[in-house]
Amino acid sequence: MLILSRKLNESIIIDGKIVVKVLRIDKDTVKLGIQAPAELPVHREEIHDAIQRSKAQNGGGQCPGAKPNAPQQPRQEKNFSETEPKK
């Protein structure tokens, strides 16, 4: 495992295509912005695990409720310069 330290508004770049930027640090929570090509799925770990379990239960097919050959919704990308108001 590669371990990196980043400060607020600093980024890492993966394979020249994926940018992970530290957007906010609040006590024990770090908010990350991830910019990746639309064809590359990006999920939280627990969502990824649920998708994998669902695929295993369905014999490796699509997730339940997924429509065959349905076009994917375009991902809403947030500009890194946009910031959320402080709570």
Task: Please give the helix or strand (H or E) that residue 32 lies within, else none.
Answer: strand 29-35
| Model pLDDT, residue 13 | 97
| Model pLDDT, residue 2 | 93
Range of the domain at 27: 11-57
85 falls within a domain? no
For residue 45, CA distances in Å to 39, 52, 67, 83 come to 18, 11, 23, 24
Query: Which of 34, 28, 37 minimizes the C-alpha distance to 11?
Result: 34
| Model pLDDT, residue 67 | 46
Copy the structure tokens of residue 11.
């980024």
| Model pLDDT, residue 70 | 44
> Beta strands 29-35 and 11-14: pairing type?
unpaired
What string of pLDDT tens digits covers the 87 residues of the chain? 999 999 999 999 999 999 999 999 999 999 999 999 999 999 999 999 999 999 999 886 555 544 444 444 555 555 555 455 454
Residue 9 near residue 22 (C-beta atoms within 8 A): yes
Number of domains in the chain: 1
Phi/psi for 35 (5° steps) reads -115, 115
79 falls within a domain? no
22 falls within a domain? yes
